[in-house]
Each structure stands twice: as structure tokens, then as C-alpha cells.
């Protein structure tokens, strides 16, 4: 890799006069300076060196302690909430970390110069035509209007520069609508299709808000507790790492510091990183609870809370932890903090739970809630269990024969169990197909190594459990194979969404047999809605089946979105929903037509049935009485 000056650094340094120093004068010791104090006149210190060495965005954990400044000092000199507005516009805030001895690693690498980067924009940009006709619905009070360009949004100079470095030419629909809503300080529940740019939609307003210095800072002198201003929670370690990497790019030289904390990695290293200062903490719930219980992190100063894959974060697996973090620690309540929930799927009962975390929020749906994008060609093939391996082999051979014209085409294969993943990987390797696995029984190091090897194309087949189903943005995944279909149609939507991202097309193949009968109806409905060819045999299965675990009330393009519009929700005198725009066309959906359902089970079976069908029960019942014997 070349180590010449990156275009990003050149651009930043051309505005050297504006670079905020923030170094502790006199001490010679670099200190963390909170963002609201960084908009200072340039100091005598030299600007940051323009070459950052060969560090890549993936070597975060190998950097030892050299990346950031010494432990943060007291930063009590603060502005209050909402205080001050934006004096003098944004132009002056392009500096970042203390530039005494330490420097911010350039997360864009050192690969391009300015000219080259901008000339490449056209080629690499998202295919926006793919989003032209996408239906968008918003509901709630006083909804800020959408924008058409990033230039229309006052995000700040340094962030705008990073958006250009990312080669984002214009905002995707979820960004066009979502960013103005969040910048206006409103809570948001946003549902948009996989691969449509939700990460930036929640990161930009957070970074911009912190840059504006509207958030007070706090530290306790001598204490080791840190007080992040924003918290981004995601369900998996790999997704948290990815969000962290994205957020670091967006916040490069803005002065906003992003730190990640997730399980499976040594906590001491993460503690050290936190001690160097944190504005935005990206975390998985388990590790965050650990940090909170050790009193190493306080949520007292949280101004922004974002839940990525919010429906997953609020389903049974995570809900208790999320409630603990959000409701039982020291986080400011809804209305004081700003809360943003994002996902591609938002079952109604989860929306209901989620509303506990929000204040007078706006609901945004880009495309139908939980729909898949029609950029993904979906195929379903009837394959008996015993034939699955040979069928997969046929697919892979055909793929090889068709060739990807020198480009690395990656295949992601989803299976049900961790054992199944290991055994399929072994079998593939034995048959000459380089494969690796990612699942919960592998060490974190192995998981990260597997992902790296897959991304690089060294092992172009990744066999995965649902741990890789959500959020991961891996370029060049050309084919997703559902070797084992999931029980839940929403999981299917997220899995196939690992391909066909950012306006690109992709292919998803599912192996279906009698074991998947309960998914037939929701799968057929989903495919039909995404203009896919539904095999006649699947339609017959669908006609026979009860409907699977479909949590999609209403049906039709705009059936059932914001749950506040559901008549059964409003019946009890609830007054959540306050109007909105684009009304009309909402399907009725489920109604609470069963007062009490009494289920009598033997213990083991009953628990399993209940666990698997909880959401369905919640949808259909007001009260559920369960008796075991």
C-alpha cells in the first residue's frame, strides 16, 4: 500500500487555518477535548501530519494505545442544551483531535488523491434509479419536509467533506426523509429496506448534533467513569464493529470520537479506549451492561440513543437487557434524549413495545414495512433434506461455470444450526469449494478472521447462522443461499438483504421442503410483493398453510404500517397518534378478537411452543393464560 498523502488529508489540510487544535497548552501532553470546545482559533501547533501510515480500518484492535490522546481531562467548560445555536456557521469546525503528539487515524486509508476520488464517484455511486418509485410514508405531528440533496441539509462542513469522501453523491430515500426529522430533534421510528443506507441516516444527525456543541459534556475528575453523549446499540458484535467503522469515517476530523464495545473481545482494551474519551459509544447490549455495572460508563449524559435492527433489539432475546439499559440505569428519559429506531422490519407488536422508548415520534416507512427489495432476484426450489448438499454443489458449479468475469463473487449460505454450519463448511472444503463459517460457537477472533477472509475473497463461501443475517454490509455478495430456511419471514428478509445492496442487484436461492410449510404463505406473499415469480407448488403450499409466522397485517403495498394507525390500538382511548400526512390506504390488520386464550401444555413442549409463537399470540390475544402440568 502506498503511504503518500491521502486526498482526504490534503483536503482537510487545505483548510488548515480552520483546524481546531484543542491541545493542552503548555503541558505538551495531548488531551481529549470535547467537541463543543474544539471550535477554537487555530493554535500555534502544526496541523496533523498528512500521512497516517499504513493503518487500515480493520486493524483497530492492533493499534495499542497510540491512536488517541491521553485520558480525557476535565471538560466542565460547557455549553448547555440548546445553548448558543451555531455561531458563525459551520465552516470553522474542521479540526478534530488534539494534534500535539497524537493524531486521528485516517479511516479512509491512504489510497487516493482528491482528483482521482472525485472522478471515481460516478462509477461507484449508488444506483438511485432503483429507488425512484419507492413509496414513502410518514406519520406523526409536524413532520419536517424531506430534502433532495445533502447540500440542503446543514450538517456542518467537516461532515459534508466526509460524505464526499465516502462518495455519497446524494441521499437515499431513508436519508432524505430521516435526516431532516432527526436534525429537527424529533424521535423517529424508521423502517427501510435492507442495504438502503440506514446507518448514515442515524449517524449523520448524531455527529452533526455533537459537532454543534449543543450537548453538555461531563467528566468526573479522577474517576474512571466516562459519559458518552450518544449510544448506538446493535445486536451483534460484527454489526457493532461495522457501525463503528462507518461512524469513524463520517466523524473523521469533526472532533467527535467514536468508541466500540462488544463481547468476546478483551474488555481491558475497550476500557482503555473509553478512558481516552468517547462521544459516541457503539455497543452490543451484553458488553454495555457489563460496563455499566462496573461503573465505567454512565449514561447520564446521553443525548442520542439509536437502536439499529431495533425490532431484533426489542424481541424476547434482548428486550430485558435493553429495558435495563434504557429504563433502569441513568439514561435521560424519552423527550430529554432523542431516540431513533431503525430496521428493515418492524412487526406491529414490536412497534408497540418500542413506543415506550419514544416521545411524540415520527414513523417513517420507505417501501412497505418488512418488504424485500426487488433488486434481489428470489428463487425458491423444492429440495428434500437429503438432497440439499448435492443441490448446493450444483449451484456452486453453475456459478463457477458462468464465471464472474474476474470479479470476486461471494456466496453466503445460511443454515439453521452451528453444528450444521461446521459440517457443511467441512464438506464444501472437502469438495474443493473454499469455505469458512461464522456462528456463535466460534471465538470472536475466529469470527472476525472468517469475515475478513470472506470479504477479501480468499474464502468466497461463508456458511453462517443468523448471527450474520442482519446489517452486515459486505460488498460483492452476489448470492445468498437459504440452505435451511428460517422460521420467521422477517429473518428471511434480513438474510437475503446481504445481497442487492446500495442499488445493486443480487440473487437469493432458498431450499424449501415440507419442514418449511409454515413459512409458505408469508414467503409467497413476500415474493409476490417484490414482483418475483412464485412457483405454482409454493402457491399451493401457501393455500394450505396457516400462514406461518407472518406478522404483516393488512397486506398490499401499504397495508399496516405505523401501528398507531391501527384501529384496535386506538380503541382503548389511547391517544398516541397525532395525524400525519400521506394518509390513506392503510389496511386494517389484526384485531384483538380473542379475549383470553387458555393453553394447557406439558412443561417442556409448552415453553417451546410459546417461545416460538409468542409474537403470534400477542397479536391475536388480549390476555394469555398458560397452564402447565
Residues engaged in binding ligand ATP (CB under 6 A): 125-126, 168, 171-172, 175, 192, 194-200, 344, 471, 473, 497, 501-502
| Shorter beta-carbon distance to ligand ATP: residue 474 or 626 | 474
User: Which residues, other chains included, contact 351 with Cβ-Cβ below 8 Å and sequence gap of 6+?
Assistant: 189, 363, 562, 563
Considering the complex, what minimum distance in angstroms separates the CB of residue 41 from ligand ATP? Answer: 34
CB of 83 to ligand ATP, least distance (A): 31
Bridge partners of 380, per DSSP, are 510
Dihedral of CA 125/119/460/395: which sign? positive
- Which residue's CB is nearer to ligand ATP, number 200 or number 353? 200
Pairing of strands 621-628, 230-233: unpaired
Q: Quick one: 198 or 479, whose CB is closer to ligand ATP?
A: 198
Contacts of 265 (CB under 8 A, 6+ apart): 61, 237, 444
Shortest Cβ distance from residue 385 to ligand ATP (Å)? 29
| Nearer of residues 199 and 254 to ligand ATP, judged by Cβ | 199
Min. distance of Cβ 262 from ligand ATP in angstroms?
Answer: 17
Query: Running DSSP on this structure, what letter comes out for residue 327?
Result: I
When the beta carbons of 106 and 196 are compared against ligand ATP, the nearer one is 196
Tell the smallest beta-carbon distance from residue 317 to ligand ATP (Å): 18
Kindly state the cell numbers that stand for 22: 484543542
SS3 annotation, 188-231? EEEEECCCCCHHHHHHHHHHHHHHCCCCCCCCCCCCCCECCCEE
* 52 versus 175: smaller Cβ distance to ligand ATP: 175
Least distance from ligand ATP to the Cβ atom of residue 200, Å: 5
- Shortest distance in whole angstroms from residue 174 CB to ligand ATP: 7
Smaller CB separation from ligand ATP, 201 or 214: 201
Q: Is the Cβ of residue 506 or residue 560 nearer to ligand ATP in the bound state?
A: 506
Residue 5's φ and ψ, nearest 5 degrees, are -60, 135
Provide CB contacts within 8 A for 120, sequence distance 6+.
Answer: 112, 167
Q: How far is the CB of 447 from ligand ATP (least distance, A)?
A: 18
Q: Are 489 and 526 in contact (CB under 8 A)?
A: yes
DSSP structure string for 87-123 = TT-STT----S--SS-----TT-S---HHHHHHHHHH
- Residues 344/239, Cβ–Cβ less than 8 Å: no
The residue among 236 and 436 lying less far from ligand ATP, judged by its C-beta, is 236
Q: How far is the CB of 160 from ligand ATP (least distance, A)?
A: 13
User: All 3 cell numbers of residue 52?
Assistant: 497516517
Angle between helices 520-529 and 489-496 (to 10 degrees): 40
Q: Which of 145, 131, 175 is nearest to 581 (CA)?
A: 145
Amino acid at each position: 500500500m502506498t503511504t503518500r498523502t491521502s486526498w482526504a488529508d490534503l483536503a482537510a489540510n487545505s483548510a488548515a487555518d480552520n483546524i481546531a487544535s484543542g491541545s493542552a497548552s503548555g503541558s505538551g501532553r495531548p488531551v481529549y477535548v470535547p467537541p463543543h470546545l474544539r471550535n477554537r482559533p487555530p493554535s500555534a501547533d502544526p496541523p496533523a501530519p498528512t500521512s497516517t501510515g499504513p493503518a487500515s480500518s480493520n486493524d483497530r484492535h492492533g493499534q495499542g494505545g497510540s491512536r488517541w490522546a491521553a485520558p480525557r481531562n476535565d471538560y466542565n467548560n460547557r455549553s448547555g442544551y440548546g445553548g448558543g445555536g451555531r455561531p458563525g456557521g459551520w465552516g470553522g469546525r474542521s479540526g478534530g483531535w488534539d494534534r500535539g503528539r497524537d493524531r486521528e487515524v485516517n479511516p479512509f486509508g491512504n489510497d487516493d488523491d482528491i482528483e482521482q476520488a472525485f472522478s471515481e464517484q460516478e462509477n461507484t455511486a449508488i444506483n438511485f434509479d432503483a429507488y425512484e418509485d419507492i413509496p414513502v410514508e410518514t406519520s406523526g405531528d409536524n413532520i419536517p419536509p424531506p430534502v433532495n440533496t445533502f447540500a440542503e441539509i446543514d450538517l456542518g462542513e467537516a461532515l459534508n467533506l466526509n460524505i464526499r469522501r465516502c462518495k455519497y453523491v446524494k441521499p437515499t430515500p431513508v436519508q432524505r426523509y430521516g435526516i431532516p426529522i432527526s436534525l429537527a430533534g424529533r424521535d423517529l421510528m424508521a423502517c427501510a429496506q435492507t442495504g438502503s443506507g440506514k446507518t448514515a441516516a442515524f449517524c449523520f444527525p448524531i455527529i452533526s448534533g455533537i459537532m454543534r456543541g449543543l450537548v453538555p459534556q461531563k467528566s468526573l475528575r479522577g474517576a474512571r467513569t466516562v459519559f458518552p453523549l450518544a449510544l448506538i446499540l446493535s445486536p451483534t458484535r460484527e454489526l457493532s464493529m461495522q457501525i463503528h467503522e462507518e461512524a469513524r469515517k463520517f466523524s473523521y476530523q469533526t472532533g467527535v470520537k467514536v468508541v466500540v464495545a462488544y463481547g468476546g473481545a478483551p474488555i481491558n482494551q475497550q476500557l482503555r479506549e473509553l478512558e481516552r474519551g468517547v462521544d459516541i459509544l457503539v455497543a452490543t447490549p451484553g458488553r454495555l451492561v457489563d460496563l455499566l455495572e462496573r461503573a465505567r460508563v454512565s449514561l447520564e449524559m446521553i443525548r442520542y440513543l439509536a437502536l439499529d435492527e431495533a425490532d431484533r433489539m426489542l424481541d424476547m432475546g434482548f428486550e430485558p437487557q435493553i429495558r435495563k439499559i434504557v429504563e433502569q440505569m441513568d439514561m435521560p428519559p424519552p423527550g430529554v434524549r432523542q431516540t431513533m429506531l431503525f430496521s428493515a422490519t418492524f412487526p406491529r407488536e414490536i412497534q408497540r413495545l418500542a413506543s415506550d422508548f419514544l416521545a411524540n415520534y415520527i414513523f417513517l416507512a420507505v417501501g412497505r414495512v418488512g418488504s424485500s427489495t426487488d433488486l434481489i432476484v428470489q428463487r425458491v426450489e423444492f429440495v428434500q433434506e437429503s438432497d440439499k448438499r448435492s443441490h448446493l454443489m450444483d449451484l456452486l458449479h453453475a456459478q463457477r461455470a458462468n464465471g464472474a468475469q474476474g470479479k470476486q463473487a461471494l456466496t453466503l449460505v445460511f443454515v439453521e444450526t452451528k453444528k450444521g454450519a461446521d459440517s457443511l463448511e467441512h464438506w464444501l472444503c472437502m469438495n474443493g469449494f473454499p469455505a469458512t463459517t461464522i456462528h456463535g460457537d466460534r471465538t470472536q477472533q475466529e469470527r472476525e478472521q472468517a469475515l475478513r477472509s470472506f470479504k477479501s475473497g480468499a474464502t468466497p463461501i461463508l456458511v453462517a447462522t443468523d448471527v450474520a443475517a442482519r446489517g452486515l454490509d459486505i460488498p460483492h455478495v452476489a448470492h445468498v443461499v437459504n440452505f435451511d430456511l428460517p422460521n420467521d419471514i422477517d429473518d428471511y428478509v434480513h438474510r437475503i438483504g446481504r445481497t442487492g445492496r446500495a442499488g445493486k442487484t443480487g440473487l437469493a436461492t432458498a431450499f424449501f421442503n415440507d419442514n418449511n410449510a409454515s413459512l409458505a404463505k408469508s414467503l409467497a406473499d413476500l415474493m409476490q410483493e417484490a414482483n418475483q415469480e412464485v412457483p405454482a407448488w409454493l402457491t399451493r403450499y401457501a393455500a394450505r398453510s396457516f400462514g406461518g409466522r407472518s406478522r404483516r397485517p393488512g397486506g398490499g403495498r401499504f397495508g399496516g404500517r405505523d401501528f398507531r394507525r391501527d384501529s384496535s390500538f386506538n380503541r382503548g382511548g389511547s391517544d398516541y397518534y397525532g395525524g400525519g400526512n400521506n394518509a390513506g390506504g392503510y389496511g386494517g390488520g389484526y384485531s384483538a378478537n380473542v379475549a383470553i386464550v387458555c393453553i394447557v401444555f406439558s412443561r417442556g413442549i409448552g415453553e417451546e411452543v410459546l417461545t416460538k409463537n409468542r409474537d403470534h399470540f400477542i397479536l391475536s390475544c388480549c390476555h394469555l393464560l398458560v397452564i402447565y402440568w
